[in-house]
Amino acid sequence: MTKIAFIGMGIMGGPMARHLADAGHEVIGMASARAVAELAEHGGRGAATVAEAVDGAEVVITMVPDSPDVESVALGPGGIYANAAKGALHIDCSTIRPDVAQHLAEAGAEQGIAVLDAPVSGGEAAAKAASLSIMIGGREADVERAMPILSKLGTTIVHVGPSGSGQTVKAANQLIVAGTIELVAEAIVFLEAHGVETEAAVRVLAGGLAGNAILERKAGAMLKRQFAPGFRIDLHHKDMGIVLAAAREAKVAIPLGAHVADLISALRAQGHGSLDHSALLLQVDELSGRGTNRDS
């Protein structure tokens, strides 16, 4: 079994760390006291600092909100690369900018640390079910080394290219998810306005060409106007910023994506950043004059 340092155990990182502990790995977590206590119930333990967490670890996994957060725990005298053993493997499962992922791979290599960008998709439910989709950027040999670990966390695990490629694919994922949520929200309000039995409508739509994971996993709560976060608007706002920047860099037009990014930004500005990204439905309600009932 492997000694694993797991830094960042939030909505998705927590279940991921616990799966690894359940699989028999020695997991040392650095997160909130509550998350560490939950990990301890599965045989793991906590650490107060990055240096303590990575001491003797063969694998270090990070699952933190944004590019600066990964840089803060990876770089510098108190970071992963200065304190982990030579030959350790850093798997970053956060969603960050592709250029930052490339920089981290270079910085890690200078210290003898192998680095993979391995962002995940599937939300809280998939994290709990160990059925995440994981897109990996980095060297083939390092990917092979990571597979026994990642196989405990996901069911679709694909090496998509060199360092930064995982984050580029994740940006495309977030572009598709944002657009799909918006269209599902519009369809729900459209159906309700016409007096259709919406639960039945969702079932038949999910079984046809319009079927998608949002209809299957999110539509039920959307119909009830329940937006407890599985993935917060704040985080999707950050991700759409990554998408827009990467599109500009590549000189690619994403007209619908840019519009949905504006809708997410507006919803966040209205104070809904802590709600699930399916709360895009609130805007459709408001724009349609159909009220703002919500359950946060």
Give residue 292's pLDDT band: very low, low, confident or very high (50, 70, 90): low
∠ CA 228-232-238 to the nearest 5 degrees? 170
The pLDDT of residue 1: 87
* Per-residue model confidence as pLDDT tens digits over 205-218: 999 999 999 999 99
Q: Where in the chain is the domain with CATH 1.10.1040.10?
A: 168-287
Q: Report residue 96 as tokens.
A: 């960050």
Domain 3-162 has CATH 3.40.50.720: yes
Nearest of 66, 71, 93 to residue 4 by alpha carbon: 93
* Per-residue model confidence as pLDDT tens digits over 196-249: 999 999 999 999 999 999 999 999 999 999 999 989 999 999 999 999 999 999
- Dihedral of CA atoms 52, 23, 213, 277 in degrees, nearest 10, equals -20
The pLDDT of residue 296: 41
Q: Where in the chain is the domain with CATH 3.40.50.720?
A: 3-162
HSE on the CB side for 137, CA within 13 Å? 28
HSE on the CB side for 36, CA within 13 Å? 14
* Per-residue model confidence as pLDDT tens digits over 82-122: 999 999 999 999 999 999 999 999 999 999 999 999 999 99
Q: Where are the beta strands (DSSP E) in the chain?
A: 3-7, 26-30, 45-46, 59-62, 89-92, 114-117, 120-121, 132-137, 154-161
Tell me what the mean pLDDT of segment 284-288 comes to: 96
Question: What CA–CA distance (Å, rounded) separates 39 from 230?
Answer: 20
Angle between helical axes of 165-193 and 255-267 (0-180°, round to 10)? 70
Element (H, E) at 125: helix 123-129
The pLDDT of residue 156: 98
Question: Strand 132-137 vs strand 120-121: parallel, antiparallel, or unpaired?
Answer: antiparallel
170 is catalytic: yes
Q: Report residue 148 as tokens.
A: 């026994």
Question: What CA–CA distance (Å, rounded) separates 17 from 61?
Answer: 9
Tell me what the mean pLDDT of segment 160-177 comes to: 98
CA distances 209 to 76, 175, 179, 180, 215, Å, are: 50, 20, 16, 13, 12
* Per-residue model confidence as pLDDT tens digits over 29-54: 999 999 999 999 999 999 999 999 99
Q: What is the mean pLDDT of the chain?
A: 96
Tell me what the mean pLDDT of segment 59-85 comes to: 97
Among 170, 218, 224, 238, the one annotated catalytic: 170
Give residue 295's pLDDT band: very low, low, confident or very high (50, 70, 90): very low
3-state secondary structure of 179: helix
The pLDDT of residue 294: 43
Tell me what the mean pLDDT of segment 137-164 comes to: 98
Question: What CA–CA distance (Å, rounded) separates 39 from 209?
Answer: 41
CATH class given for the domain over 168-287: mainly alpha
The pLDDT of residue 279: 98
- Residue 59 scores a pLDDT above 50: yes
Q: How many residues does the chain have?
A: 296
